[in-house]
Structure 1
Amino acid sequence: MVAGHAQKETHVPDTTGTWLTQEAYDRLQQEYDFLAGEGRAAIATEIDERRQEGDLKENGGYHAAREEQAKQEARIARLRQILRDATVGEAPADDGIVEPGMLVVANVAGREMKFLVGSRESADGTDLDVFSTQSPLGAALLGKKIGDETSYTAPNGNDITVKVIAAEPFTG
Structure 2
Amino acid sequence: MSQYPMTARGAQMLRDELNELKTKTRPRIIESIAEAREHGDLKENAEYHAAREQQSFCEGRIQDIEGKLSNAQIIDVTKMENTGKVIFGTTVTILNVDSDEETTYRIVGDDEADIKNNLISVNSPIARGLIGKELDDTVTIQTPSGTVEVEIIEVEYI
TM norm structure 2: 0.74
Could you say if the C-alpha distance between residues 120 and 129 of structure 1 is closer, same or farther in structure 2, counting changes exceeding 3 Å?
A: farther
Instruction: Report the counterpart of residue 50 of structure 2 in structure 1.
Output: 64
CA distance in 1, matches of 2:5, 2:50: 32
Residue 101 (str. 1) matches residue 107 (str. 2): no
Instruction: Report the counterpart of residue 34 of structure 2 in structure 1.
Output: 48
Residue 86 (str. 1) matches residue 76 (str. 2): no
Answer yes or no: is the 8 Å Cα contact 1:20–1:121 preserved in 2. Answer: no
Residue 114 (str. 1) matches residue 101 (str. 2): no
CA distance in 2, matches of 1:82, 1:162: 33
Answer yes or no: is the 8 Å Cα contact 2:110–2:122 preserved in 1. Answer: no
Instruction: Report the counterpart of residue 142 of structure 2 in structure 1.
Output: 153
Instruction: Report the counterpart of residue 11 of structure 2 in structure 1.
Output: 25
Query: Which amino acid letter does the alignment assign opposite residue 118 of structure 1?
Result: V
Answer yes or no: is the 8 Å Cα contact 2:82–2:156 preserved in 1. Answer: yes
- Give the gaps of 5 or more residues in structure 2: none
Q: Quote the RMSD (CA, aligned, Å).
A: 2.9
After superposition, give the CA deviation of every residue in 1:50-72 in whole Å (9 maximum; x if it has no partner): 13223446544334323322332
- Give the gaps of 5 or more residues in structure 1: 1-15
Q: What percentage of aligned pairs have identical amino acids?
A: 29
Higher percent of residues as helix? 2
**How many equivalent residue pairs?**
151
Instruction: Report the counterpart of residue 118 of structure 2 in structure 1.
Output: 129
CA distance in 2, matches of 1:31, 1:48: 24
Could you say if the C-alpha distance between residues 114 and 55 of structure 1 is closer, same or farther in structure 2, counting changes exceeding 3 Å?
A: farther
Answer yes or no: is the 8 Å Cα contact 1:46–1:65 preserved in 2. Answer: yes
Task: State the shift of 1:27 in Å.
Answer: 4.4
After superposition, give the CA deviation of every residue in 1:90-125 in whole Å (9 maximum; x if it has no partner): 32432221111111111246332112101265579x
Residue 143 (str. 1) matches residue 136 (str. 2): no
CA distance in 2, matches of 1:155, 1:77: 33
